[in-house]
A and B are shown apart, each in its own frame.
Chain A
């Protein structure tokens, strides 16, 4: 079964760039019915969708973050990555990666959902 694992620094200084990688195992990141996404959860708060990418490089970002976020894919390593620039304390959060299913059922209805997810990695922004 497909598994995802986030990796990257747990501490980032204010104004610097947060960089995380999600490694996909048990399946190909180039599968046609799947996108790949990043989600975060600040301490004590709810979930926020950051962005989604396809293996071809097509990306979709949350408008609230679009000026600072960049998501890329490395099909040779079966990985996708997140970069978030000019971070502040407000970017402190658990960052999750997830596979995004996106397809049409035989009924013709579109289906989309995030599954599976990684366990998440806490990134703290502090000097």
Chain B
């Protein structure tokens, strides 16, 4: 099983700042099978990035993904108030499909 470790666990930033979220895999992940999701209470989880770097439909260009192998990054260039949420990476190249434990992005 591929274990995904996200860091930091909590990130405290202000609107307008840049957020960098990390996802490290216990073994190499096929890049096209790495995604990022945003979760907010009471809402359906939202796909942000698939294939490590492709933005999903309707996702603002302030969200970007990068990385390969075992190290992946989600970057939010300028935080908007609606971006404060919990973010998860997921790999779906190897069963069982696994998620990271999440990074909570909170307002400083």
Binding site for B on A (CB under 8 A): 46-49, 52, 60, 62-64, 96, 98, 100-101, 105, 109-120
Q: Chain A residues with Cβ under 8 A from B93's Cβ?
A: 112
Chain A's closest residue to B36 (CB) is A113
Residues of A within 8 Å of B43, CB to CB, are 119
B33, B44, B98: the one contacting A117 at CB < 8 Å is B44
Given contacts A60-B95, A110-B33, A113-B35, contact A47 B90 (CB under 8 A): yes
With most chain B CB atoms within 10 A of its CB, the pick from A48, A100, A111, A113 is A113
Query: B39-52 toward A: CB 8 Å interface, digit per residue (1/0)?
Result: 00011111100110
In the complex, the answer to whether A49 meets B99 with C-beta atoms within 8 Å is yes
Query: 12 other contacts beyond A49-B98, A113-B92, with CB at 8 A cut-off?
Result: A46-B99, A47-B37, A47-B45, A47-B90, A49-B99, A52-B97, A60-B95, A62-B95, A112-B92, A113-B35, A117-B44, A117-B46
**A52: B residues at CB distance < 8 A:** 97
**Docked pose: A108 CA to B35 CA in angstroms:** 18
B88 part of interface (Cβ distance < 8 Å) = yes
User: Within 8 Å CB of B50, what residues of A?
Assistant: 101, 111-113, 115
CA distance A52 to B43 in the complex (A): 22
Q: Are A47's CB and B99's CB within 8 A?
A: yes
Chain A contact surface mostly: strand
One digit per residue, 1 when the CB lies within 8 angstroms of any chain A CB and 0 when it does not, for chain B 67-108 equals 000000000000000000000101011011111111000000
Is the CB–CB distance between A112 and B99 below 8 Å? no
Nearest-neighbour CB distance to chain B for A43, whole angstroms, equals: 12
Contact of A111 with B32 in the complex, beta carbons under 8 Å: yes
Is B11 an interface residue, CB under 8 A from the partner? no
Q: Given the known A-B contacts A118-B44, A119-B43, are A113 and B98 also in contact in the complex, defined by CB atoms under 8 Å?
A: no
Contact A46 B44 (CB under 8 A): no
Map CB proximity to A onto B8-37 as digits: 1 under 8 Å, 0 otherwise: 000000000000000000000010110101
Q: Closest CB-CB distance, B76 to chain A, in whole Å? A: 19
